[in-house]
Amino acid sequence: MQFAHVNGVTIHYQVIGGPADKPVIVFANSLGTDFRIWRDVIVRLAGDFPIVLYDKRGHGLSDVGNTPYSIEDHAADLAGLLDLLNVSQAIVCGLSVGGLIAQAMYQTRPDLVRALILCDTASKIGSAEIWNSRIAAVEEHGIASIIDAVMERWFTPFFRSPDNIAYRGYRNMLARQPVEGYAATCAAIRDADYTEAAKRIAVPTLCIVGDQDGSTPPELVRSTAGLIAGAQFEIVKDAGHIPCVEQPEALTDLIRTFIISAITRGKLNE
């Protein structure tokens, strides 16, 4: 395991080497998860591209740190980690809140971002009422109290089958996240609005969404893609909010095709 001290918190990360002439892909995970959600995508990309994964503060093996958080705090953590690793001009792939972090980092540290892959995310996610209600629930009753509702938005009915042992594992992942870090990140999402900022994104961008995403539905993701000049929009069939778990092969194919196409057209060298 690899750890770094960034902005006063310990960040858990992993670096997987790849060809020096290929862009680094950085993966930022969703609310209530750690970087293991990307495993089945990573095994399909490993060896073809250098890869960086990490647990944002308040998640996985990273420190909770001081709360409350902002999305800019999360973006500063990722920027600090990439600086320590001497990574610049990366392709940043963010899922859900990870997509907000990617958008924030583009605004604050554009030197670190060569392209964006915004997966099951938007320029603004949810309302203050929704997030305040969730914060109150987890602070009073714990994360276990919201798991069933969250799982319905994360995964398709097929994946939520009682016979699917992986479904039990992802329930455990959510339940075992620190309440403080989860609630603080809910507040960060609540307060984030990159609607105007999205219009200024000027790097190649791919927006992806599962066709059964209950957290950031396809039309919401499509509307965000519409704000970004030249953005590509794709729907992953038979997937909910976390297609890297339900449909990793389809998601990997979209990521690979986007990157190769951008390289071929010279878009990643501008």
Q: Is the pLDDT of residue 269 over 80?
A: no
Contact 117, 206 (CB under 8 A): yes
Domains of the chain are: 2-269 (3.40.50.1820)
User: Which residues have C-beta within 8 Å of that of residue 259, sequence separation ≥ 6?
Assistant: 23, 25, 49, 91, 115, 268
Q: Is the pLDDT of residue 222 over 70?
A: yes
The confidence score (pLDDT) of residue 79 equals: 98
The confidence score (pLDDT) of residue 263 equals: 78
Q: How far apart are the C-alpha atoms of 36 and 68, rounded to whole Å?
A: 25
SS3 48: coil
How high is the mean pLDDT of the chain?
Answer: 96
**What's the token pair of residue 199?**
């219009």
For the chain, the farthest-separated pair of C-alpha atoms sits apart, in whole angstroms, at 52
pLDDT, tens digit, 9 for 90 and up, residues 87-134:
999 999 999 999 999 999 999 999 999 999 999 999 999 999 999 999
The confidence score (pLDDT) of residue 71 equals: 98
Q: Is 218 left (phi over 0), alpha (psi -120 to 50) or beta?
A: alpha
pLDDT, tens digit, 9 for 90 and up, residues 141-159:
999 999 999 999 999 999 9
Strand 113-119 versus strand 2-6 pairing type: unpaired
Q: What is the pTM of this model?
A: 0.97
Tokens 């971002």 correspond to what residue?
113
Provide φ and ψ at 200, rounded to 5°: -100, 0
Angle at alpha carbon of residue 222, lines to 39 and 226, rounded to 5°: 120
Average pLDDT over residues 68-78: 97
Contact 112, 77 (CB under 8 A): no
The confidence score (pLDDT) of residue 267 equals: 67
Contact 114, 258 (CB under 8 A): no
User: Which residues have C-beta within 8 Å of that of residue 230, sequence separation ≥ 6?
Assistant: 204, 205
pLDDT, tens digit, 9 for 90 and up, residues 177-221:
999 999 999 999 999 999 999 999 999 999 999 999 999 999 999
**What's the token pair of residue 143?**
């994360």
SS3 25: strand
Contact 104, 74 (CB under 8 A): yes
> CA 205: distance to chain centroid?
14
Tokens 């089958």 correspond to what residue?
161
- Residue 261 one-letter amino acid: S
Average pLDDT over residues 221-247: 98
User: Which residues have C-beta within 8 Å of that of residue 37, sequence separation ≥ 6?
Assistant: 29, 30, 95, 170, 173, 242, 244, 245
